[in-house]
Amino acid sequence: MARVLSALIAGLVFGAGIAISGMINPAKVLNFFDFAGSWDPSLAFVMGGALIVTAAGYRFVLQQPKPLFDKTFHLPTKRDLDLPLLAGAAVFGTGWGIAGFCPGGSIPALGLGEISAVIFVAAMLAGIVLARLMRKAFAPQTSAGK
Partner 1 sequence: MTVFTPITSLLGGALIGLAAVILMAMHGRIAGISGILSGLLPPTAADWAWRAAFIIGAIAAPALIVAVAGNTVIAFDSPVPAPWLVVGGVIVGVGIQFGSGCTSGHGVCGMARLSVRSIAATLTFMATTTITVFVIRHGLGGF
Q: Which of 35, 137, 141, 143 binds partner 1 (CB under 8 A)?
A: 35
* Residue 136 found at the interface with partner 1 (CB under 8 A): no
As measured in angstroms, the least distance from the Cβ of 137 to partner 1 is 13
Residue 38 binds partner 1, judged by CB under 8 A? yes
Q: Under the criterion CB under 8 A, does residue 92 sit at the interface with partner 1?
A: yes
DSSP string, 116-134: HHHHHHHHHHHHHHHHHHH
Q: How many Å separate Cα 22 from the centre of its chain?
A: 15
Residues 43 and 31: their CA atoms lie apart, in Å, by 9
**Min separation Cβ 94 and partner 1, Å:** 5
Verify binding: residue 139, partner 1, rule CB under 8 A.
no
Query: Whole-number minimum distance, CB 142 to partner 1, in Å?
Result: 14
Nearest-angstrom CA–CA distance, 80 and 75: 15
Residue 76 contacts by C-beta under 8 Å, 6 or more apart in sequence? 146
Footprint (CB under 8 A) of partner 1, residues 46-85: 46-55, 57-58, 61-62, 64, 66-70, 72-76, 78-81, 84-85
